[in-house]
Amino acid sequence: MTDITSKAEAALAAIGAATSLDALEAERLETLGKKGWVSLALKTLGGMSPEERTAAAPAIQSARAAIAEALDAKKAALEAAALEEQLARETVDLTLPALAAPKGSVHPVSQVMDELAEIFADLGFAVATGPEIEDDWHNFTALNMDETHPARAMHDTFYFPDRTPEGREILLRTHTSPVQVRTMLAAAQTSPGGAPVRIIAPGRVYRSDSDATHTPMFHQIEGLVIDRDIHLGHLKWTLETFLKAFFERDDIVLRLRPSYFPFTEPSVEVDVGYASENGRRVVGGSGDAPGHAWMELLGSGMVNARVLQMGGFDPGQWQGFAFGVGVDRLAMLKYGMNDLRAFFDGDGRWLTHYGFSPFDQPTLSAGVGARA
């Protein structure tokens, strides 16, 4: 018994003198560890007679409790000291400049598509989408271009070798106009005979064409409004309001010229007035003003009755207007870029120069309403 007591005193002294967590751990193993003498002594209790156990147990139990408590206390003290020491040793210089973190940027086309969605959302338009791999019925036929229509040949279409189960040709859509068809069919399905529609459809389109102003893939945005009393005046106001908001200036002047598209009747080509400043086209003012000219910007018109019909709408009850614009063209005009091909080269330097910070406020967050 005195043996246990003196061993316990020695252990407590060693714990008290330990100067590192390692030394403390060694002491724990020697006492309370599986093969430590306290643990072994505890095991011997099982083999004793009740009288022997009553005599021997208190010293061992109290040795164990005292050692465990001393180990805990010393461990906490050593850890606190280590932290103090670390805090004293390590200093942070808050005046040093932060390391530059590489940061991505938003492609001008994505930025412009976001801006357009925002402008048209203010005007009550929803965003609609459709497949880039289309069939010729949606891309041409339902837009009033049957198999023999000459406009089909003008689209430089990429065709796939296969056909759909219905025997339709499969192609990469040449414009976003098939989204008009898909939107009308979906609306007519829920409301037979027709229902109001107000959508824009931004997306990629494909044509077999490549030079400084054409790339085989480019972007368009389609607009479609169908309601019971829609006329050209609504079209003109919508285009003017959209272009004023997009170019962020009030002096946008449009010129509407008669034109032809199979899917609209009448069809209108829309020009915008601009001035050349330092070799750059700046949109604004009448094209007839001194130093100004007109630039063709987009195609539009009143939805052809045959297109309404093929979309499941009753043309006796519904009218609509539609328009289609090149998104890349809009981006080049607004942000002063002159080579379309650079848009799709994937050159990081170009993107660093022309890209937009993902953390900036959208430029048009004030919205169309705020300008009215």
Stretches 85-93, 97-105, 164-172, 298-306: which one binds ligand DAH (CB under 6 A)? 298-306
The set of residues, in sequence order, having a beta carbon less than 8 Å from that of 152 and lying 6+ positions away, is 140, 145
Phi (first) and psi of residue 323, to 5 degrees: -150, 160
Please pick, from the candidates 322, 330, 331, 351, the single residue that binds ligand DAH as defined by CB under 6 A: 322
* Closest distance of CB 259 from ligand DAH, Å: 8
Q: What share of the chain is helix, strand, coil (3-state, %, to 5)?
A: 45, 25, 30
Give CA angle at 200 (195, 206), nearest 5°: 125
Which residues between 199 and 238 bind ligand DAH (CB under 6 A)? 222
Most distant CA atoms of the chain, gap in Å? 120
Residues 352, 339: Cα–Cα separation, whole Å = 16
Q: Which of 37, 323, 354, 356 binds ligand DAH (CB under 6 A)?
A: 323
Q: Give the x-and-dash track for 250-279 against ligand DAH (CB under 6 A).
A: -----------x--x---------------
CB of 169 to ligand DAH, least distance (A): 18
Residue from the set 175, 182, 219, 329 that interacts with ligand DAH by CB under 6 A: 175
Which residues, including other chains, have CB under 8 Å from residue 240's CB and lie 6 or more apart? 252, 254
If one asks whether residue 299 binds ligand DAH (CB under 6 A), the answer comes out as yes
Interaction of residue 324 with ligand DAH, rule CB under 6 A: yes
Taking the least distance from each CB to ligand DAH, the nearer of 241 and 300 is 300
Residue indicated by tokens 């219905």? 166
Do residues 348 and 241 make contact, with C-beta atoms less than 8 angstroms apart? Answer: no
Which helix (H) or strand (E) segment is 203 a member of? strand 197-206
The first and second tokens of residue 23, run together, are: 């030394």
Taking the C-alpha atoms of residue 355 and residue 108, their distance in angstroms, rounded to an integer, is: 6
Find the shortest distance in angstroms from Cβ 295 to ligand DAH.
16
Q: Which lies closer to ligand DAH via its Cβ, residue 36 or residue 301? A: 301
DSSP letter, residue 304: P
Residue 115 interacts with ligand DAH (CB under 6 A): yes or no: no
Q: Out of 111, 139, 177, 241, name the contact with ligand DAH by CB under 6 A.
A: 177
- Closest to ligand DAH by CB, 211 vs 250, is 211
Task: Name the site residues for ligand DAH (rule: CB under 6 A).
Answer: 175, 177, 222, 261, 264, 299-301, 322-324
